Structure 1
Amino acid sequence: MQHVDVIMYYLRKFCKYGPDNSARVTTTDPFFISWVVQIYDAWEANGKDESLISIHHEVAQYIRGDRILANIPWVDVDHVCIPVNSSAAFHWFLVVFSIRKRCLYIYDSLNGYGVKHTNAVTSLVQKISRMIPLFLVATDYYALRKDIDWNTDLHYAGRPVGDPLVYGNRENIPQQCDNSTDCGLYTCAFAEYVCRGDRNVSMSGLNAENLRLRYGALLWEYGKMKIDTESVSEDEASNQGRRSNMRVKE
């Protein structure tokens, strides 16, 4: 999990500080899905009690731009890359929340790999689909999104604000070999495509061996940096405990 966490951190830094990047994207860390599952299960077990959807919950902290290093408030982006690990399928895949289209795109390097695999992936995506809209309401997200019109926008008009997000698989994306363990590598590569503004990943544009070397070098550089500096710059630090630009409802 650590290798995916580090690469997602680097992608957030690229999205936040890259001088030539205008893609309006951020990523979560690999722990985001655990918080989603935790609150979904509690919400479901308590009769869908929406009082559990608190502005202080960890999911709300991610949305406000807090919780993790180099995070960006979701009100300032159009796409959020969510790396997901399924313990049931022993598999990594990427979910991209397209805010303007109000949908989740699933980037799965083993798409259609049997019923058990598909069910494990779908179960987690459904929980994301249900929880994100509730936390967007709780954090008063749409009050700050003046570019989204609930009366005229195709993907919003006529929909209750807390409705689950629609979701579907990205088709014709690179697939890993059946006997490989490269799902984490592919997940990171898919996220990098999105962060660089290209959400249509070419079947011929991903070389697993080259990516393995490249990300390996990046991880080595990160480890060396931690040893050499043992510090985090103030502007990268999590906003945990600080007021973000995003308004919350008490």
Structure 2
Amino acid sequence: MEGYAIPSGMPWHLTDDVYVPINSNTEFHWDLTVVALKELCIKVYDSMSSIRSNRKLSSEIQKMATMLPKYLELSGFFEKNERTNWSVLKCYQGKNKSHPFEVSHVTGIAQQESSSLDCGIFVAAYAEYLSDGLQVPSCGISADTILLRYALLLWNYGIVKARNGYVSDNENSEMRKTIKKI
């Protein structure tokens, strides 16, 4: 989100948080889930949580909370401790490593209007705030403004790319720096 190209093959043990957009299987709605590896927790950012009285956990998030720890254990994730010594983290003490992740719904965040279909825009905005190290605001996120901002970023990206004669996104890191300044 900050203009850096993170390799898709980057090992999870070198990250703190993993952002996963989740589409509910029962309705057309997206949430942002943040897998906080050092907290043994999945944080759910739902742009309709104030509208929906039933905060039932989607089956996708339930499956992730249960299967992810087992996958991490089987893949040798916890043995790779050059960056993090998992055994000394408080949330891992006294628990077996395949213990399900705790799931928490983040409250007090900006919400979309009840009649809109802007959940994807809110997921992108939440991810952008969090990746910049900021808290998601409790109000003031305008889907129209975010859409306009992203359209301008893409338009400028295309102009810079065409002006420099680039064919691939990976040909020039200077172009990424230029776009990040906007």
Query: What is the TM-score when the length of structure 1 is the normalising length?
Result: 0.59
* Root-mean-square deviation (Å): 2.7
Pick aligned residue for 1:88 from 22, 26, 45: 26
Q: 2:149 is matched by which residue type in structure 1?
A: R
Distance of aligned partners of 1:88 and 1:229 in 2 relative to their CA distance in 1, 3 Å threshold? farther
Q: Check whether the contact 2:111–2:139 (CA below 8 A) recurs between aligned residues.
A: no
Distance of aligned partners of 1:157 and 1:234 in 2 relative to their CA distance in 1, 3 Å threshold? farther
1:8 match: none
Instruction: Give the secondary structure class of the aligned counterpart of 1:100.
Output: helix
Q: 1:211 is matched by which residue type in structure 2?
A: I
131-140 or 177-186, which deviates more:
131-140
Asked if 1:208 is matched to 2:137, the reply is no
Aligned residues: 168
Distance 2:153 2:113 in 1: 24
Identity among equivalent positions (%) equals 30
Pick aligned residue for 1:130 from 34, 48, 66: 66
Q: 1:88 is matched by which residue type in structure 2?
A: T
Pick aligned residue for 2:17 from 79, 82, 87: 79
1:193 shift after superposition: 1.0
TM-superposition CA deviations, 1:63-108 (whole Å, max 9, x none): xx52xxxxx3211111111111224210011000111111000000
Distance of aligned partners of 1:211 and 1:124 in 2 relative to their CA distance in 1, 3 Å threshold? same
1:211 shift after superposition: 1.0
Question: Gaps spanning 5+ residues in structure 2: where?
Answer: 174-182
Instruction: Give the secondary structure class of the aligned counterpart of 1:189.
Output: helix
Distance 1:235 1:97 in 2: 31
Instruction: Give the secondary structure class of the aligned counterpart of 1:105.
Output: strand
Q: Check whether the contact 1:15–1:195 (CA below 8 A) recurs between aligned residues.
A: no
Pick aligned residue for 1:143 from 79, 86, 89: 79
Q: Check whether the contact 1:85–1:92 (CA below 8 A) recurs between aligned residues.
A: yes
1:29 match: none
Query: What is the TM-score when the length of structure 2 is the normalising length?
Result: 0.79
